[in-house]
Structure 1
Amino acid sequence: MSNIFKIAILPGDGIGPEVMKQAIKVLNKIRHFLNIEIVVKKYLVGGSAIDKYGDALPTKTLLGCEKSNAILFGSVGGPKWDYLPLNKRPEKNSLLKLRKHFNLFINLRPAYIYNNLHMLSPLKNNIINKGFNILCIRELTGGIYFGKPNGRKGNGINEYSFDTEIYYRFEIERIAHMAFNFALQRNKMICCFDKANVLNTSIMWREILKKISYQYSKVKLKFMYIDNAVMQLMKNPSQFDVILCANLFGDIISDQCAMITGSIGNLPSASLNNKFFGLYEPAGGSAPDIAGKNIANPIAQILSLSMMIEYSLNNKHITKKIEKAIEKVLNKGYRTKDLYTNQLNEKIVTTEDMGTLITESIIL
């Protein structure tokens, strides 16, 4: 790695620019402690880019990302652009393109719950009090979202639409090796959610994972049908360590993992390639209904920055400092509106205030 680390900042739409501003506050506090020069450049993406350039991922933005070492991404999209054809909308024409362009085939979505936020979870106390710490790993560039052929044909009552689920052996093997290595750093358990009783792709996933598992004797591998898995996640999430899924199942399960924590506004994600070039983004959406009101929760965006520091800069020390600062602020009762439960010690704060409180609580 050179002595300069370049970050492409893509604030996005809706609440994206507001929460990104808070992540940059944190970055400005810690940048001098990263032992590397940090260079930041902002680019338009999503709906805001469509409004200015007519394209959700303009050439200028893509080139800026190519010249960077990592991408810090804000959420994109909103009803304003729903009139566009599906392949022109902000989500598909920016985020999915970036994932494919940079071969970001592995998506990491950590899901855990803060001790003083148990009341936000929809789960019963006897379940949530056991705690859980899950790393959901989703294959991101294969499967039904990218498979060909797809489309619509026919007319009248005989009109039909179709999508193709397709996986190549190399796609499964590369994410399997990364998943086993992440499991080695945690509690050494992987559960793959699939539909091997119906889908040929799931059968192939099982065969390849079983074969690769022999290279990782310390990791326990198990499989679970997706329909049972969604129930088990609600019944006993503490049984899971690393969850591994194909693209479609991972898309759904990662959001369920987020929801059982009580607020998707707290959860970050990282999308990586085999060189650990990453796109880091909050798990939630652009929330256009609350944009500009200074009430959005910036924690997920700040934690996305924290994941960038851990995986792209390989600096877990600073990552832990940021995580401890967030926990400290929450322990003092500070809450954005989505986290407020009317408990005695809770105080509602703005997006801006939450970002400042977290930044000031980082002890370096």
Structure 2
Amino acid sequence: MRTHKIVLLPGDGIGPEITEATTPILEFVSAKYDFNIEFKTKLIGGSAIEAFDNPLPDETLQACKSSDAVLLAAIGNPKFDELPRESRPESGLLKLRSGLNLFANIRPVKIFPSLISASTLKPEIVEKVDLIVVRELTGGIYFGKPKGRISSEEGERAFNTMSYSSVEIDRIAKIAFELAKDRKGKVCSIDKANVLDVSQLWRDRVNEIQLAFRGIELTHQYVDNAAMQLVRKPDQFDVILTGNLFGDIISDEAAMITGSIGMLPSASLSSDGPGMFEPVHGSAPDIANKNLANPIAMILSASMMLRIALKEFKAAQDIEDAIDNVLAQGYRTKDLASDNSNPLGCKEMGKKILENLSLIK
């Protein structure tokens, strides 16, 4: 029997609630498809500060490093805002990303048929959208040097450096092409090669990497055109590959096509270590412990973990189908509720998805 070692990081706010709604679902599909999941629950963020006076205890980092994947719920609590920046919950997350060398951010954007009306775009524009944004996470203009603010004859001057090496480009491109192999087989690389030297290198390296993935169709778009195409015809995209700055913008634009950024999962991956999977939304401390949270993004993050990190494709598909069925039946948590929906709490939504899983053959 296959065994997968998973570290659970419930974190803060609604994190423990959505984790509790997710683990029975993982246990169900593992039993159905004859694989085993070994869970280890560790502290991070505010909960770790309270227990260890450290947002990322060493035992948490070491457990994550020795796992097959990390499933993070949410971190953050305003009661720690007065602490020095390096001691706040968010610093624990940054240190974990650094410790695991998570350079690739993966954000899927998929339309659930029953939620098409939530999008601000016309139904016929969004109904077939199913794409993934692959964003380089640790390079580019956010990390390039030199950077800073100086005095000059023209007054104060600020500058940043957009910089990428061939190694950084190659490793993120390989992830995009590998993901495309399990999807529609199309990668669109987004750059600004008509203006930027760094984008010219980006395009050259992506073309070179594509030679090892002959079955994958590769296209290129300038970032301004890509932003327009995402609104004009988003279903043309399968896997979008781009750098840190452009990915920061494009991924949020793509996410809002669905009408609800709070429904979306994400992943951060390294070259050879465990990946981390987490919902896009925050810890929402104002609704914590009130059974009001929406666990679907967390459950979808678990599905993404099964698909990308563990290669348990059938289990992942069952979870996604069960969520689609529940939404089609009109069940909603408070954040998605409408006049015609059936409202459920966090626990009840998890149970309803589990109930629908048991009906899938």
Q: Normalising by the residue count of structure 2, what TM-score does the alignment of the two structures yield?
A: 0.89
2:190 is the alignment partner of 1:185 = no
Deviation at 1:160, TM superposition (A): 6.2
> CA separation in 2, counterparts of 1:72 and 1:289?
22
Deviates more, 1:144-153 or 1:132-141: 144-153
TM alignment of 1:242-253, pairs within 5 A: 242-253=239-250
Change (3 A) 1:196 1:13: farther
Give yes or no for contact 2:262–2:280 (8 Å, CA) kept in 1: yes
Gaps of 5+ in 2: none
Corresponding residue for residue 298 of structure 1: 295
Corresponding residue for residue 350 of structure 1: 345
Two-structure CA RMSD over aligned residues (Å): 2.6
Corresponding residue for residue 241 of structure 1: 238
Give the residue type in structure 2 aligned to 1:247: N
2:52 is the alignment partner of 1:53 = yes
Q: Percent identity among equivalent residues?
A: 48
Three-state SS of the structure 2 residue aligned to 1:74 is strand
Three-state SS of the structure 1 residue aligned to 2:302 is helix
Corresponding residue for residue 227 of structure 2: 230
Deviates more, 1:7-16 or 1:226-235: 226-235
- The count of aligned residue pairs is 358
Corresponding residue for residue 143 of structure 1: 140
Change (3 A) 1:351 1:3: same
Change (3 A) 1:293 1:162: farther
> CA separation in 2, counterparts of 1:255 and 1:12?
24
Deviation at 1:298, TM superposition (A): 0.6
Corresponding residue for residue 252 of structure 2: 255
2:311 is the alignment partner of 1:314 = yes
1:52-104: CA deviation from partner (whole Å, max 9, x where unpaired): 3332212121122123221111122243334445544433x222322222222
Three-state SS of the structure 2 residue aligned to 1:260 is helix
Three-state SS of the structure 1 residue aligned to 2:50 is helix
Deviation at 1:141, TM superposition (A): 2.7
Deviates more, 1:75-84 or 1:327-336: 75-84
1:311-339: CA deviation from partner (whole Å, max 9, x where unpaired): 23221111111111111111111001222
Give the residue type in structure 1 aligned to 2:202: W
Change (3 A) 1:82 1:204: farther
Corresponding residue for residue 359 of structure 1: 354
Deviation at 1:9, TM superposition (A): 0.8
Deviates more, 1:311-320 or 1:192-201: 192-201
Three-state SS of the structure 2 residue aligned to 1:138 is strand
2:148 is the alignment partner of 1:122 = no
Change (3 A) 1:71 1:80: same
Deviates more, 1:352-361 or 1:287-296: 287-296
Give the residue type in structure 2 aligned to 1:330: L
Give yes or no for contact 1:81–1:90 (8 Å, CA) kept in 2: yes
> CA separation in 1, counterparts of 2:150 and 2:57?
31
Give yes or no for contact 1:143–1:166 (8 Å, CA) kept in 2: yes
1:205-255: CA deviation from partner (whole Å, max 9, x where unpaired): 111112333343443322222233223212221121111111232233222
2:322 is the alignment partner of 1:325 = yes
Three-state SS of the structure 1 residue aligned to 2:23 is helix
> CA separation in 2, counterparts of 1:126 and 1:31?
36
> CA separation in 2, counterparts of 1:159 and 1:46?
37
> CA separation in 1, counterparts of 2:79 and 2:249?
25
Give yes or no for contact 1:20–1:74 (8 Å, CA) kept in 2: yes
Corresponding residue for residue 267 of structure 2: 270
Change (3 A) 1:186 1:150: same
Deviation at 1:16, TM superposition (A): 1.5
Change (3 A) 1:65 1:214: closer
Corresponding residue for residue 41 of structure 1: 40
> CA separation in 1, counterparts of 2:77 and 2:85?
13
Deviates more, 1:289-298 or 1:33-42: 33-42
Change (3 A) 1:173 1:59: same
TM alignment of 1:60-139, pairs within 5 A: 60-91=59-90, 93-129=91-127, 131-139=128-136
Deviates more, 1:57-66 or 1:182-191: 182-191
2:4 is the alignment partner of 1:9 = no
> CA separation in 1, counterparts of 2:243 and 2:80?
29
Give yes or no for contact 1:276–1:311 (8 Å, CA) kept in 2: no
Gaps of 5+ in 1: none
Change (3 A) 1:321 1:83: same
Deviation at 1:358, TM superposition (A): 0.6
